Structure 1
Amino acid sequence: MNFFATCPKGLEYLLRDELAALGASDAREALAGVHFAGDLAVAYRALLWSRLASRILMPIAQFDAPDGEALYEGVAAVDFSAHLGETATFAVDANGSTKGITHTHYAVQRVKDAVVDQFRRRSGERPAIDTERPAVRLNLLLRRERGTLSLDLSGAPLHQRGWRDGHGKASLKENLASAMLVRAHWPKIAADGGPLVDPMCGSGTLLVEGAWMAADVAPGWKREYYGVAGWLGHDAALWKTLRDEVDERAQTGLAKLDARFFGFDQDPAVLNEARHNAQRAGVAGFLHLGRQSLSHLKRTQECVRPGLVIVNPPYGQRLGERDALVPLYRELGEKLAGEFAGWRASAITSEPDLGRAIGLRAEKKYALYNGAIECQLLNFDLTVQEPTEPRVPKPLSPGAQMLKNRIEKNRKHLKKRVERDGVECYRLYDADLPEYAAAIDVYGEYLHIQEYQAPSSIPEETARTRWREIVRVAGETLGVPREKIALKQRYRAKGGEKYGRMDQRGEFVEVGEGGLRFLVNLWDYLDTGLFLDHRPLRARVRELARGKRFLNLFCYTGSVSVYAAAGGAAATTSVDLSNTYLEWASSNLTLNGYAGPPHRLVQADAQAFVDHDRGVYDLIFVDPPTFSNSKRADDFDVQRDHVRLLLACARRLAPGGLILFSNNYRRFELDAVALSSLAVRDISAATIPFDFERDAKIHRAWELRHASGA
């Protein structure tokens, strides 16, 4: 059976690993969730034991849903007698949109109509609507003209554990609190007997979740309502067995738990909530709660072993509030360094400036979302914090000094152009010195450094030394802290040099270009999501797009489609075989206000799409990979296959239309003879941006039109 677990953005990789540990197979992350497979017992364990998931969905139907009528028919084709009794209650949630369905309320109504009409035709009876605690909750996802209907086995969000009595100021959802604890290494610290301290505990969410983790208490232990209970496919005997196991493990774990959880807050009202929450969670006897300001925070005598200090301090969403919070964050850093040496610490904040005010070097940073607020979780290892006295840096080698001079020269040379054009993302250095073979790209306040292949004559130790110098010099010269530098380093292996394993941070950075906003991921992929050398091509698409029907093949993360939409395109169609990239493209379009029916996203092989599509387009952008050997499509070789691809594009081209074709294969040769039916113009020189002038072969580009001008 296939399932989908939803979660807040930023938790996908953690949730994937958690579900795999619960017995799920084929667990693979998606945007804000994880696909997984397993039997009913796996789904039940996820409901009871997942600390990170928001909902567990079981898809029961997929169908075309371009409009309300198709949606109704797709839902009506499902035999609901297998899922829902005719006198039971149900509810429907809907997310997303298609070309003809732009309001979720309308989508919900069409699903309800289809379900109710089916029961009425059969027996004259109909299930009733209950939006609070229905017997069965249905979930509809609309995306790319398709609908996915699922049973929501959770019924209510899984972060609702059943122990919360109230919500303190800026309280965390329970699954976000669990994610913070996992990222902060609390499970290991707890297993070693370490204490947990929250100096701004509010209603006690972090403390309760931490105590339950330490005691092996399932997050579903106190929940009374699950959507699975009213489903006709529910295995009550299996459910009871698993619930009994939850009870047994909770009782056993709590019997062994020590009173090593400490929470403090200045607000007596939220402290009272924390006490009630701890009582409802069955852990009141293990928590020490007290009214205290941060200035009085000290490590107590009970804290014999090193533990974890974890805190959700106030963020300050407005500039004046942020400035006022700087002393609080500074004091937090001083308390951590002075009172908790040898411990670990973790703090979450939405404001990087406040995070820096802590004054400690973060060992690791993670992107998390507290509701709609993008935050960073900062982890500190207080056993290795550097002394507060400024460290005298080791002098640069002569080669590193030359590198520093070159970077400073390049920055000065590009400065006026970058500021004049409002360019946030650009190439600053591109192996200008052969000894330091790397590309250094600026992405706003971040750096992306990518190592080139070193000649085989260079000793490995020399190459490693030069790499360390590149990272150090770039960071120091440009004033960028190490945590904001993404590195892509090669290693020598059988078959030649390769890039090392990418990170799996799931962290996106928002950057600007041409007055538009884009999401880039500097860590998880070899490419970041924005090809910097295509900046002039994107701008050209915007100039040409007004009123045009635009097609973007091999659309990647959709940046060119965003430019087309910004240029006034009548419609955009973005095609890529990768669902990951299409999700990314959807986010980029939405980020700039271009979501909805006029902007179609199609998961398909680009060649197959233009071979079978019957649409007509005024402007087509084609930027294929050099090679592609996906399991879901025929192998693609740009040199071998470009003629077939471009001729297929020409068949989809409206009279007077234009194809923009680009690729970065340096030995590529356009077959002008085979393309003689088209008027071809090489525009490569005009599409190389100023920051790539030293590498004019970074890509080549052509304009293609019908030769007749028709």
Structure 2
Amino acid sequence: MKFFATCPKGLEPVLFDELQALNVDAPKQTLAGVYFSGGLEAAYRACLWSRVANRILLELQRCPAETADQLYQGVQQLKWLEHMRPEGTLTIDFTGQSEGINHSRFGAQKVKDAIVDQIRDETGRRPSVDRLKPDLRVNVHLQRGEATIAVDISGDSLHRRGYRLQSGSAPMKENLAAALLYRCGWPEKAAQGQALLDPMCGSGTLLIEGVLMAADIAPGLLRRDYGFTYWTQHNSSLWKSLVEEAQQRREAGLKVVSSRFEGFDADAKVLNIARDNARRAGVEGLIHLERRELSRLSHPATDAQGLVVTNPPYGERLGDEPTLFFLYQHLGERLKAEFAGWQAAVFTGNPELCRMMKLAADKTYKLYNGAIPSQLQIFNIRARQEAELAESEGLMEGQPDNREPAVADAAPVELSDGAQMLANRLRKNFKQLGKWARRQEITCYRLYDADLPEYSAAIDIYDDWVHVQEYQAPKSVDVVKAFARLQEIVAVLPSVLGVPAAHVVLKQRRRQQGSSQYEKQDQTAHFIDITEGGCRILVNLEDYLDTGLFLDHRPVRMQIQQEAKGKDFLNLFCYTATASLHAAQGGARSTTSIDMSATYLNWAKKNFALNGFSEARNHFIQEDCIRWLKAQKGEGYDLIFLDPPTFSNSKRMHDVLDVQRDHVELISLAMGLLRPEGKLIFSNNYRRFKIDPQLAERYRVVDITRKSIDLDFKRSSKIHQCFEISAL
């Protein structure tokens, strides 16, 4: 019989070695799998013992299939009553396409029809379709006009061992975990009694797979059903004998395991999941699981050698990267301090992060975690090892529009000459801007904005908190050097400004698209109550891309407060509606705030409630501003603030917004709602923005950009552009 064992991309060499060890005939490696031949026993052993394969397919026939009719006739050449009962159930897995078959669902339908029609014609009975637990799973792959028809004797994917009913976030599949352990040489290490430790173990998959290998436990023993269970050619006595042999090997293996298995994680909930998984796998007595932070990672006193293997987080969310720099750096420090003589293996979808560990990888394997290109990096830990990483020259530059958060708690670092220069510049700015801010009764202001190009960040004061926004370095800047400078920025701030280190919050600024500016990035829910122009405003330095208050618009908000008395005020693209709050504080007759984000509108309502303003005269509308403007008729507002984003293709919006392209339409629509003596204040933060000359032919347009920028933003004179627009 001819078989094909499938596996994830990148694991083909590991599967080949594994099948060779199972003594199958003529294994041949190819893309996404390995061909082999043999009798049913070879296929059964592969189902029971393969730790890497996804499926074992028994090839029945190959036939031409350029057209649907050819496919139908080819399938009917097989005798399907040799594989299933007339009243049985089946499902079809179909992949590939040809000139006449361009959809997998259509191909699967033709295969199903051919099988059902044949059995109905011969017996008068008709099999039915069961996609979940069929008696027969037929696999058809169409390539270059030829269909390969096979029976899937594995059934459900073999990576589903049966022990993992729950998992943590971003779980690793069991067969990928096994492949990583093979690549690390774990079976040989386990035979020597070495230890296995995962410092961020999550739901315990790596540890459980490690125990199954060490104890010679077949990964398929826990599965109840296979694809061959109801296949009419299934040899139940042969399968039973193989299972009994595997059970005997399991019992013998558990008695002689000498390795120690330890798993740590900071999340108590996910550790409970790991314990349940280990219990279902029958290995809970061999794995020590403990809630422990990475900072407490230490060498097990009783183990001279072993393997530290882990799959750390590598940035599923916006805003993860700055925090992960610290995590990987700390992991490297703990490995060098505690695990000399051990081997360490890190599997990550962001290999650049591994450079933060300052360990030279002895081996690197390119693999995939689902669709994510990833790497397994293997390190031999030597005493006091420091990898010499080449640092490319270059300065951090660029100033994208939006921000993404991560709370930083950096370890102390020795300050370089550059960091001393940074500290001096911060002291100078703090002295000068601090005096100005106190005179103006301003408690939140920009202290530093990439004054020194090597330290490219914006640093803002929020009362006794410091908000650091690192500008994303271009790809030409070495990531390790950029991170070192970032550490120095964070390190000098507490002493220079006299604030606790815990009050320094770090974010990285990079361009965002779509709805990313509205997504919550963290779960601290830590709001700070600050004051501006007599208004109390809630800001959140940690959870969102922005803090809830654009500091550069402070003069505009104060102007609105001064001019709003007795007026109906409209705030388009209102964000957290701080401009509306200032209008209400200034005595506006009414305020209307429009934004498509419910999150920010709810934030705005909290701001109003904090200041004692009810919603009776202050209205909040969740809507696409362009669509809302087009639906309005007649004049209704005395003062309008229009501050659109530079670009947005959010799914919440009816259409794509480009402020340079669309500003004429936006302004015209807003002016249609303005009363004759009213004023529109139009602002945007697109640095290359050019206002269309045709607007000056229709309205009175005054550029007020210079007076709308306070002293703390003079270095960033292009932070926004601002215009007053009124009727001629």
Indicate yes or no: 2:355 matched with 1:356.
yes
CA-CA distance at 1:31 after TM superposition? 0.7
Residue identity opposite 1:325 in structure 2: L
User: How far, CA to CA, are the matches of 1:204 and 1:91 in structure 2?
Assistant: 33
Post-superposition offset of 1:390: 5.7
Name the residue aligned to 1:191: 191
Q: Is the 8 A contact 1:193 1:305 kept in 2?
A: no
- Is residue 95–residue 141 contact of structure 1 (8 Å, CA) maintained in 2? yes
1:296 aligned to 2:296?
Answer: yes
Post-superposition offset of 1:80 = 0.4
TM-score normalized by structure 2?
0.53
Letter of the 1:71 counterpart: L
Counterpart position of 1:320: 319
Equivalent position of 1:153 in the other structure: 153
* Counterpart amino acid of residue 156 in structure 2: A
Match status 1:236 vs 2:243? no
1:415-441 deviation line (CA, Å, top 9, x unaligned): xxxxxxxxxxxxxxxxxxxxxxxxxxx
Distance apart, 1:230 and its partner CA: 1.2
Per the TM alignment, residue 324 of structure 1 is displaced from its structure 2 partner at its CA by 2.4
Q: 1:352 to 1:390 in 2, by over 3 A?
A: closer
Secondary structure of the residue aligned to 1:229 is coil
Rounded to whole Å, the distance in 2 between the matches of 1:172 and 1:142 is: 30
**Cross-structure match for 1:376:** 375
Q: Take 1:361 and 1:104, find their aligned partners in 2: how far apart are those partners?
A: 46
- 1:463-491 CA deviation, whole Å, 9 max, x = no partner? xxxxxxxxxxxxxxx9999xxxxxxxxxx
CA distance in 1, matches of 2:156, 2:351: 34
Corresponding letter in the other structure for 1:279:
R
What whole-Å deviation, never above 9, does each CA across 1:157-215 have from its counterpart, x for those lacking one? 00011111202111110000000001111111111101110001010000100001000
Q: Deviations over 1:116-142 (max 9, x none)?
A: 101110111012211111111100101
Are positions 1:309 and 2:308 aligned together?
A: yes
CA distance in 2, matches of 1:391, 1:294: 24
The DSSP-based 3-state class of the residue aligned with 2:319 is: helix
Q: Using a 3 Å threshold, how does the CA distance of structure 1 residues 63 and 338 change in structure 2: closer, same or farther?
A: same
1:286 aligns to 2:302 (yes or no): no
Q: Which residue of 2 aligns with 1:365?
A: 364
Deviation, 1:389, is 8.2
The offset of 1:219, in angstroms, is 0.7
Provide the identity percentage: 48
Aligned residue runs from structure 1 range 415-564, under 5 A: none
CA distance in 1, matches of 2:387, 2:3: 54
Verify: 1:214 aligned to 2:219, yes or no: no
Partner residue in 2 for 1:143: 143
**Paired residues of 2:359 and 2:387 also in contact (CA < 8 A):** no
Q: Which residue of 1 aligns with 2:270?
A: 270
Is 1:95 the counterpart of 2:95 in the alignment? yes
Change beyond 3 A, Cα 1:259–1:17: closer
One-letter code aligned to 1:101? I
In structure 1, how many angstroms separate the alpha carbons of the residues matched to 2:351 and 2:318? 13
Contact 2:337 2:384 in 1 (8 A): no
Aligned to 1:34: 34
Following superposition, the deviation at residue 278 of structure 1 comes to 0.4
Whole-angstrom distance in 1 between the partners of 2:319 and 2:279:
38
Q: Distance in 2 between matches of 1:167 and 1:300?
A: 26
Cα distance between partner residues in 2 of 1:152 and 1:312: 31
Deviation at 1:382, TM superposition (A): 1.3
CA distance in 1, matches of 2:53, 2:284: 25
Q: Which runs of 4+ in 1 moved over 4 A?
A: 389-392, 478-481
Matched residue, 1:341: 340
The residue number in structure 1 matching 2:60 is: 60
Q: Which amino acid aligns with 1:38?
A: G
Secondary structure of the corresponding residue to residue 220 of structure 1: coil
Say which SS state the counterpart of residue 43 (structure 2) adopts.
helix
Q: Could you tell me how far apart the structure 2 residues matched to 1:181 and 1:259 are? A: 14
2:615 corresponds in structure 1 to: none
> What's the CA shift for 1:257?
2.4
Contact conserved, 2:93 with 2:138, CA < 8 A, in 1? Answer: yes
User: Residue deviations 1:235-288, cap 9 Å, x none?
Assistant: 111111101111111111112224711011111111111000000000011111
Q: Give me the whole-angstrom Cα distance separating, in 2, the residues matched to 1:288 and 1:359.
A: 29
Q: How far apart, CA to CA, are the structure 1 residues paired with 2:221 and 2:214? A: 14
Are the aligned partners of 2:193 and 2:259 in contact in 1 as well (CA < 8 Å)? no
Q: Are 1:224 and 2:227 counterparts?
A: no
Provide the rounded CA distance (Å) in 1 between the counterparts of 2:82 and 2:270.
46
Structure 1: distance between partners of 2:376 and 2:389: 26
Q: Secondary structure at the match of 1:61?
A: strand
Write the distance in 1 (CA, Å) between the matches of 2:203 and 2:254: 21
Determine if the alignment matches structure 1 residue 130 to structure 2 residue 130.
Answer: yes
Counterpart secondary structure, 1:230? coil
Counterpart position of 1:650? none
* Residue of structure 2 equivalent to 1:120: 120
AA matched with 2:174? E
**Contact 1:187–1:213 under 8 Å retained in 2:** yes
Letter in structure 2 aligned against 1:388: E
Q: Which runs of 5+ in 2 are unaligned?
A: 391-476, 481-728
Q: Which residue of 2 aligns with 1:164?
A: 164
Distance 2:316 2:263 in 1: 25
> Deviation at 1:102?
1.4
For 1:251 and 1:355, locate their aligned partners in 2 and report how far apart those are by CA, in whole Å.
39
Cα gap change, 1:276/1:100 in structure 2, threshold over 3 Å: closer, same or farther? same
Please give the alpha-carbon distance, in whole angstroms, between the structure 1 residues aligned to 2:12 and 2:389.
Answer: 38
Deviation at 1:352, TM superposition (A): 2.1
Secondary structure class of the residue paired with 2:201: coil
Corresponding residue SS for 1:115: helix
Partner of 1:708: none
CA contact (8 A) 2:336 2:384 kept: no
Does the Cα contact within 8 Å between 2:85 and 2:232 map onto a contact in 1?
yes
Deviates more, 1:311-320 or 1:349-358: 311-320
Q: Distance in 1 between matches of 2:274 and 2:218?
A: 20
Q: How many angstroms apart in 2 are the aligned matches of 1:16 and 1:91?
A: 28
How far the C-alpha of 1:331 sits from its partner, in A, is 0.6
Aligned equivalents of 1:18, 1:105: Cα separation in 2: 34
For the 8 Å contact 1:259–1:285, the answer to whether it is kept is no
Report if the CA contact (8 A) 1:19-1:50 is conserved: yes
Q: Secondary structure at the match of 2:118?
A: helix
Give the partner amino acid of 1:158.
Answer: L
Change (3 A) 1:146 1:73: same
Query: 2:31 & 2:365 partners in 1: Cα distance?
Result: 16
Per-residue CA distance 1:24-45 (angstroms, 9 max, x = gap)? 1211111110111111111111
CA distance in 2, matches of 1:379, 1:307: 13
Offset of 1:318 from its aligned partner? Answer: 5.5
Q: Structure 1 480/275 Cα, relative in aligned 2: closer, same or farther at 3 Å? A: closer
Q: Which residue of structure 2 aligns with residue 330 of structure 1?
A: 329
C-alpha distance in 2, partners of 1:30/1:148? 15
Contact 1:259 1:287 in 2 (8 A): no
Contact 1:90-1:131 within 8 A present in 2 as well: yes
Deviations 1:381-400 (A, max 9, x none): 114x67338699xxxxxxxx
Structure 2: how far apart are the matches of 1:56 and 1:74? 22
Could you tell me how far apart the structure 2 residues matched to 1:389 and 1:124 are?
A: 73
Structure 1 residue 305 displacement after superposition? 2.8
